[in-house]
Structure 1
Amino acid sequence: MKKILISLITLSTITAHTFAQNSPLKIKINQETDKIEKQVIAWRRDFHEHPELGNHEVRTSKIIADYLRSLGLEVKTGVAKTGVVGILKGTKPGPVIALRADMDGLPVVERTPVPFASKVKTTFNGQEVGAMHACGHDSHMAILMGTAKVLSDIKNDLKGTVKFIFQPAEEGPPFGEEGGAELMVKEGVLENPKVEVIFGLHINSQTEVGKITYRPGGTMAAVNDMQIIVKGKSAHGAYPWSSVDPIVASAQIINNLQPIISRNLNVTENPAVVTIGSIHAGNRSNIIPEQAEMMGTIRAMSKSDEKMVIERIKQVATKTAESAGATAEVKIPFSVHYPVTYNNPALTEKMLPTLIESAGANNVSLKPPVTGAEDFSFYQEKVPGLFFFLGGMPKGQDPLKAASHHTPDFFIDESGFKLGVKTFCNLVVNYMAMKK
C-alpha cells in the first residue's frame, strides 16, 4: 500500500496536459457540460420530488429510457426488474466502458425546506412509510443522463462504446426479493457487449462542492447482516433461578462481540464494525421468555478480515450462550451480503490525472476507508472499476453540521452536478485515448 500511495502522490502533481485539456474535443465537452447543467438540475428535482423504492422504480425508469432513446441510444429496459441500460457506440473501434447510476430512494420522511421536497407515501416490507432520495441517487441519475447527452454529442470522436447502467435497488430489494447490482450482473449487464472497465460516483453531503475524493483498493466495506437467536428456558420473572434467561445471555453476547474489533483485528491496517441494531424478546415485565432475537450488521474492508470477524462472531455467540446454559443460532449473512467496494489500484493510478484534470489538483484528495457499503462492488468483482466521491456540501459549511446520508434533512448543493458530468465524460474519453 505504501508503494501505491507514493505513486499516487507523485501522480497528483501531474497536470492534465497528458490529455490535452485545450484540445477541441475537451473544449466541446466543457461547452456541452455547461449547456446541459440546468437540465441536469431539473431532472434531479423531478426525481427528488417523485422517489420510488427499490425494485419499484417504474416512473423513474420510463423517464430515463425515453430520454436515452431520444438520443438515439440502443436501450434495454426491465433489467433486474426496473433497470435501464443504454448503449452508445462510437464511430471508431475501442473498449467498452460502463458508467453506473443507482435509482432507488429510501423509506425516509423528508424534512428539508426545498420546494421540490418529497411528499410521497408508500409501503416498505408491509409498512406504510414516507419515501425520499436521502442518499443522492436522484443526482446520480441526473448526472448520468447529462453525461449521456454530452457523449452523444461527441459520438463521432468516441473510440469505443459506452454502456450507461441505471440500476435499481442499490439500497437493497424488498425482503425476500432479488435485486440491485448482483441481479444486474447475473442477468448479463456486463456482457453483450462485454465491459472492459466500469466507473461510478457517489455524491457526498459532507464533502464540499467542487471536490473529488477517491481511494485505491478497499474503499467501502463489505457488509453482512446477521441474526442471532438465543434459546433458553422460560420462567416467572419472580423466580429467575427456574429459568435459563436468554435476555441475560444476549446482553453478555453483545458485550463479548465488541472485543473482536479491538482485540482480534489489526486496526492499523483496516477498520471493521460489529453492531447489534435490534433485540427483541418477551412481552411482559414478569415473564422471562424462551428466546431472544438479535439483528446486526458487520462491516470489513478486506475478505480476510470479513472471514475472521464472521468466524469469531459465531464462536463468541455460541460459546457465550453455552456458558449461560442457553444455545445460540447464528445466521451470517441473514439476508444481505455486499463484497468490498474495491478500486482496482492500477486503474485508479491510471485515471487519477483525469480526476485532477476535471476538478483541479487542489480539489482532489485521498479518502479514508468508508465503513458504509455499496453494491457497485458486484461489478468490481467481474471487471476493474473505479468508484469515487463527488462533493455536494455547500461551500464553507462545517462537515460535522451537514446532515448525513439516510436522514430526513439530507441536502445536496446542485452546483456540483456539472463536475460529475465533466468527470464522467473525461474518464471515458481519456480511457479510450489510452487504448490506442
Structure 2
Amino acid sequence: MLANRRILLCVSGGIAVYKAVALVSKLSQAGADVKVIMTESARQFVRPLTFQVMSRNDVFYDTFDEKDSSVIAHIDLADWADLVIVAPATANVIGKLANGIGDDMVTTTLLAATAPIWIAPAMNVHMYDHPAVKRNIQQLHDDGIRFIEPSEGFLACGYVGKGRLEEPEKITELVNGFFSREMLLKGKKVVVTAGPTRERIDPVRFLTNFSSGKMGYAMAQAAAELGAETILISGPVSLPAPSGVKRIFVESAEDMLQAVKTEFADSNFVIKTAAVADYRPKTLHGQKMKKQDGDASLELERTADILHYLGTEKGKQVLIGFAAETNDVSRYAKSKLERKNADYIIANDVTESQAGFESDTNKVTIYGKGDFEQSFELLPKQELARQLLKLIVEREMRNDR
C-alpha cells in the first residue's frame, strides 16, 4: 500500500526519538520512501546516521547545509512529500508551528509544506495538559493539521499518564489507512459549500447566522484526503483553506448559487453544509439607515433555495444536504430529503451541548433514500467528516452509481 509513497518524518527532541527510528523501519518495510529531518535536540538522543541507515536516504538537520546546490533543501523536501509526520512532537515544536515560527530546518520545512501534516505529540503528562500547549494544539487543529493522540502509560519522567508517543505499528497502520482511503475519490470532483451567507441591508449592516463553517471545512478536508478534486465554496469565515482544496469566497445566497452552478455540471458529489440565508431585505439601501424615533420594519423576500435547485438539476451527482434543527430533527430531515430530492441529509440538533454552531464537535444522524439511517455520537468535526464521507462513498460504490 505504501509503495512509492513519499513520507517526510520530522523528529524533535525527546526520549521517544528511539520510537521514531522504529517508525522509519516500519514505513520503509511497507514500501514507503522516507526522508528524515531532525532538530538539534533530537540529535542529542540519536545520531543522524541511525536514521540514514534505516531510511537509506540523507538525513537533514541544518537549514544552511544544502546537499544539492540546484535546489533549496527545505523547500524541495516540503514539495517532495506526500505526507509529513512530526514524531515525536515536543511542546516546543508544536508551539512554534502554531505561531508560524520557522527558526530551524524542521519548522521552516513545515511552514513550506502543502502536503497533509500529522503531529504525534510526546511529552510529560502535565506538559500535555498545560493551557498553552492545549491552545497551540487547538490552533493547529483549526489550521487543518491532524493529531495522532499520545497513549497512556509509564513515561520516561516516572509519571504514569497520557503523553507516550503512539507505537510505530499503530502510526504505520494509520498511514496505510490514509493512503488506502485516498483512492476512494481519486478522479472524482467534490463541491462543498460552507459557512454563513450575508444579506446586505445597507453599506454597514447585514443579516446572517451563527455558522462558523467548521463542519463544511472539515468535509472539504476529508474529501481532499480521499483524493478528490475538491472545490470549497465558502461564505465569510475566518478559517484557513484546507490543504489541497480550491476555495472560492462568496458573500450572499445569490453569490453562492452562481458559484455552485459554475461547478455543478462536472461534479460527482455536492455537499451542501452552508447555512444559507432564507430571506434577504427586499430593498438594499444605498446609504446607512439612520436611527429614528419609534420602531422600524424591514421587508424581506425569499432567497434562492440552492439545495432544491440542485435536486431538480442533478443527474449522476450524489447530493448531500445538511439540516440544522432545534426540534423534531428526524421528521424535518426526512421531509427535507424527499422535498429536495437529495440523496442524503445529515441532521443535528443545534441546541445540544457541543453540537451546535461554532463548536469543534458535532453529533449527527444521516438519512438516505430507502429508509437508510445511521447516528454518530459526539465527535470532533474533522473525524466526523471523515467517517461520514467514507460511509457515503462506500455506500455509493456498493450501489454502483
Provide TM-score, normalisation by structure 2: 0.26
Provide TM-score, normalisation by structure 1: 0.24
Select the structure with the greater relative contact order (CA < 8 A; seq sep ≥ 6). Answer: 1
